[in-house]
Amino acid sequence: MITMTRIDYRLLHGQVAFAWTNNLSANAILIANDEVANDVFRKKTFQLAKPDNAKLIFKTIEDSAKAIASGVTDKYRVFIVVETITDAYRLAMKVPEIKVVDLGLANDKDGAINIAKSVYVTKKEIKQLTELEDKGVQVLVKQAPGDSDIEFSSLIK
């Protein structure tokens, strides 16, 4: 079962590893990112931040979608973490089980506008997130589990 998909350019850090994982009662964290899946050093670094009560898995976006579709993740409460809005878009378009995407932290980049604390989006990313909402995926902007749910669409109108 997928508990939530979070966009966070830092991927796995204290807030994600402990606050979110505990809040969601997740027992598996899937880092879905093409670069990290093939980077031994980054994977070892993230292993150091992993909570003891959760399995940590690294897969490309494509392999993540295949694993979820195969049912191999069904026995877990999976918390998916992606690095970028495009990663979330690519994965959610392939995985109908993704019902909630949390736009936690999206870094500043050329052409991006700030829509919330530590959340910057480009026109392309706005289009991707809007397309996810149109598909029925709830897109929230929420940094910490105790924060109020803010619908993405309410911040771009």
- Kindly provide the b/e burial profile for residues 38-52, where b requires at least 16 CB atoms within 10 angstroms of the residue's own CB: eeeebeeebeebebe
pLDDT value at 157 more than 80: no
| 14 band by pLDDT with thresholds 50, 70 and 90 | confident
DSSP secondary structure letters along 102-155: EEEEB---TT-EEEETTEEE-HHHHHHHHHHHHTT-EEEE-SSTTSPPEEHHHH
pLDDT digits (tens, 9 = 90+) for 53-103: 999 999 999 999 999 999 999 999 999 999 999 999 999 999 999 999 999
Average pLDDT over residues 99-117: 95
pLDDT digits (tens, 9 = 90+) for 19-51: 999 999 999 999 999 999 999 999 999 999 999
> Residue 75's pLDDT is what?
96
**Which DSSP category does 76 fall into?**
S
Homologous superfamily of the 2-155 domain (CATH): Phosphotransferase system, sorbose subfamily IIB component (3.40.35.10)
Mean pLDDT of 128-138: 97
How much of the chain is helix, strand and coil, in % rounded to 5? Answer: 40, 25, 35
- Per the structure block, which two tokens stand in for 12? 């796995």
DSSP label of 5: E
The answer to whether the pTM exceeds 0.75 is yes
What pLDDT, on the 0 to 100 scale, is given for residue 114?
96
Domains of the chain by residue range: 2-155
In the 8-state DSSP scheme, what is residue 16? I
